Amino acid sequence: MNLQSTPRYDALSRAFHWLTAIAVTIAFVLGPEHFGRLMHQGLDPATRSDIVWHESLGIFVFAMTLLRLLWVALRPAAPQLESAGWLALASKLMHLALWALLLALPASALLALGSEGHPLTLLGGVRVDQMPLIANSVFAKLADWGDVHGLLGDVLIWLAGLHAVAAIYHHVFLKDGVLLSMLPEKFSR
């Protein structure tokens, strides 16, 4: 039995969710392997469309995540779906991990670029050649931020995949409306 105030998330929450999912997936696929090594060999990232798209999508995801967090504070009530205690806890932990990664990934990328002295290259020819606030920060030398960024990207994709599998499980086996709550109304007909 569902205890719902509304059966679906509002349209803006759904749009934020799916745009973020699509952008993260494309950024992951385009994520250049060994980016730091290529940069140390003199590669100008602006000459590689995969790098420009990856970095642009990363900034887009970061901005979308900040807007989503603001919207979560302001939006209409989210659907309240009844589930077993352990499922509710697992859902909350999964969402917390996904939110944290959506913020940590772009931050780790900026730390990697700034601490290594690499430019941020974005679509439209936007380029930030130096990030002295990052390069001179106490965080810059705490880790190899490129490796951290790669690891966090892998973890995000695995958790997002698990999140999708869980939504399908809810839909197919539990039939509790969890997946439908994030889909447009036309999918429930």
Let me know: does 65 contact 99? Beta carbons within 8 Å: yes
> What's the CA gap between 187 and 189, in Å, rounded?
6
In a domain, 1, yes or no: no
Any idea of the CA torsion for 146, 51, 41, 106, to the nearest 10 degrees? -20
In a domain, 4, yes or no: no
* Domain encompassing residue 71: 11-188
C-alpha 30 chain-centroid distance:
14
In a domain, 105, yes or no: yes
In a domain, 3, yes or no: no
Q: Report the chain's mean pLDDT, rounded to a whole number.
A: 91
In a domain, 58, yes or no: yes
pLDDT tens-place string over residues 104-152: 999 999 999 999 899 999 999 999 999 999 999 999 999 999 999 999 9
Rounded to the nearest 5 percent, the helix, strand and coil shares of the chain are: 70, 0, 30
In a domain, 120, yes or no: yes
- At 5 the pLDDT is 58
> Which whole number is the average pLDDT over 17-36?
91
Instruction: Give the lowest-confidence range in 59-68, 70-79, 120-129.
Output: 70-79
User: Which of the four pLDDT bands, split at 50, 70 and 90, describes residue 39?
Assistant: confident
In a domain, 2, yes or no: no
- At 85 the pLDDT is 86
pLDDT above 90: percentage of residues in the chain: 72
Three-state DSSP class for 126?
A: coil
> What's the CA gap between 157 and 159, in Å, rounded?
6
C-alpha 94 chain-centroid distance:
13
- At 37 the pLDDT is 79
pLDDT tens-place string over residues 40-51: 888 899 999 999
pLDDT for 79 beyond 70:
yes
> What's the CA gap between 42 and 33, in Å, rounded?
15
The total number of structural domains in the chain stands at: 1
